[in-house]
Chains A and B, each alone.
Chain A
């Protein structure tokens, strides 16, 4: 059982790291603010979700696991709002000149 859970953790965390890598490549390579945001938020949210999911079985106790989930939810919340704000200000800046 524990070997199975460990295996799940490894796979999930590696997958999460892959999404981070993809997101970062997108951030660096995509041409404008919108596509960069797209790459960043999609990949990071999914990446973080996978990392958190992978770490959940490794935590001792429900409280610690709950904290991890809370971290993920908070990051989701703030990154959603912040990318909205960035996109909006990018659009305003485009409209101005």
Chain B
């Protein structure tokens, strides 16, 4: 084959390979140069990577369909193709942005002082941040199930050491639990991919989408892959590893884990169900991820409200928000059970994922700053924090506001799209879950706000200085989340989505949510709010809160979690087959 005839895909496709490889090249260069070069290499890579993502976005805007790149000129099923549709481009851009924000924040923790040698933390952090970035880009653009398996493993191997950067026994235990459970998830995923190859002779997603038949091998494969990916995403009740891992890591690492790493496996579930499986999935089976998501929202939120430490509160809020990310699956189906609302569901999911990535990164960073400045992050003792650390506290609250779907946040638009789908398809029950999830989020914003704005009993002594850049990076990410829907509507989504955003009825939603959130806090939080609320109903509700905590502890043990994993796979397969 002469070079001229080589089939390589669409215009600008080579950028996809660049997006994947640049971070890895940076990681290798950082490993070689070491020492004080580590942050420098990362800071060179960040604008470069962002530039590549922007170039991809512009190439995608000029193209008619998805960008495609055939590596080595070999087309699937023999070769591997990289593809970027709208969802992938949005995720590429968002991850590049969040990595830049987190990188700016982490300079405070892992930037090396002049004259200091290479430290373990800086070495691991910068190299693994780049590795996570490359692996995520690969997840977004790869169309091959086996390459995606390798990408997921890359993500796990890069994520696990981030959990135990602090090196304490507890974080090592969290990391060990994480890797064992995640490996189990990967092996189930690989098993599903193997079955698909055995059935259809290809691992390429578009080819599979055309070949899949509603038959046992497809049901088994998709059920196994779905369950494995749920485990890697930490969807309730498979979240045993998440709270200690995300709560125990240094803030800069928690932000990476919570904002970015879990999005990889989640994005793959999205791809599988909406792009690969349309011929196999059915509306009944799609209720499963959303039902688990609803359970995640309730359990994660209640347990979050009962945490005593800010970082653990944020970690449990991630458990709840992961649930929110799975509500879109049944809402891709219309009332007749056909997948006609797929585009809307995908848009809503990607928006929600980006909103969560930006807001959650900002919130973890804010929690880390509070810890660094005060020397603790006990929620009860946060009085005066707003005055001492205005920017960090603002980042936390703006992030919370964005997550609960205040206009014009990305979460607002995502919720609006899903509410529309729920109404169209007649699945009214998800309306309640969508609004309830927002109320719970409002709950922990209220919980924290009530404390940080109080006057401290004694003036806060010996505050440690924290980097201003770090604070502004946190606030920047949170604000980006709050303004996300403006960017989305300016970009690919129809502008009339925001037409009524500032109407009275939409704006009135906010105080309603806050009110509901305050009620939830009063009923469920561990310590009564300000002494005044509570009342007669409290003991009963507090008992409910304790019950949720006990349930959470139970499913976070190894054997129940593993059994749940298999049960999820079995239920999913059964629902698909019954279809």
Asked if chains A and B are in direct contact (CB within 8 A), the reply is no
Binding site for A on B (CB under 8 A): none
Binding site for B on A (CB under 8 A): none
